[in-house]
Structure 1
């Protein structure tokens, strides 16, 4: 589905290096979370620079009307909210991999952001450092509670530099790539794909947990790290408990009026 994406589609969203795209994948069932994430980027002037890939047309029309940069894949069978590791979630995770592969193939770096992330600080400063780095291939959130435990890295927030090697590693569209993904479906999907097939074959930098905490890290150590966090990823909870957690931590930015309309 992502093979139709062209340079012309992403041109309005390229960052100042001319080579980086911030992107997220969403559908109508997930639109409130995506809107919340975009609102958290507004103070830094980045909300309208995110290239929002909408799976269904209803989601596309709503976000387009709100002024966001959107692209529609047009699979209206995947418009509902799909909790983690359930039917439909595997297809959405595959779309994320396919999207990354396509953007890398267009010679663009990719900053992939899941919609259940809330930004607390401007991510652009770190991004500029990553641009200058000539060694690392990928910068990615850690899903553990210890910085030295990098067995399970989190594909909800990651920056990938384009190169022939990364394009090949992210090939999920060939028969062999599809077979690899099939082995990960319903087993943490794209995250398992990354940790099993990509991480061992490139140079990866796990992001520090005090600045890029996963959900469990933040819930357990909030008082110790809250002043340092660039973002909080509200994973480690299923379904709409994400929204409950965001409201509990005063990070739900969508207004009641917006919730009613959507």
Structure 2
């Protein structure tokens, strides 16, 4: 919902298809200042690898156990090495992300004033959009004191530097995609719990690194995924690592 953070993420049936789609849509767009040029993507054979497993407090222990089972197979079968890592400030990701989103989104929607683009956005948007507009308006009013937006930018930079530090020590990071299992259809969920689902995916946007989520199985018939996170510009490495994990996981999913 904001140009400075959000990116297009291909959804595909497998890692290879995801890479092919991203390879088509990536690159420079002269009308989009957030784009940049990059080399063609490809999946290569992965040799020795040192991956970091991110310890995330308050994650469902069943998700952690399933992820550990998959990674144990990678260590044994692929001869990869594992290192436990802790990312400072990751618990501040949601609190950092939303002031940035709301403020930038509020600013961007001011052009939709009913004179140039049809209806005013406040007259046609849903509850979540209106919530973000309202939040952005309030943050903007308080910003002359630097209460929210500037502080969020400061924490974003801390998160970015922390990811850079850890990714200098390992080839990639692996962590759960979500800290909890999906809810049943129709379940009433509070806004706080709804936002908490993004607690482990938001950090990659804030840190400006590349990440991919891949399925690893089911718990109580509910899908579970993990993320492979690599440094900025290392998408080919990310896809290559994810492809190797996919080969381990697929027989397990079929069996499940």
TM-score, normalising length from structure 2? 0.29
User: Whose Rg is larger?
Assistant: 2
Using CA pairs below 8 Å that are at least 6 residues apart, which structure has the higher relative contact order?
Answer: 2
TM-score, normalising length from structure 1? 0.28
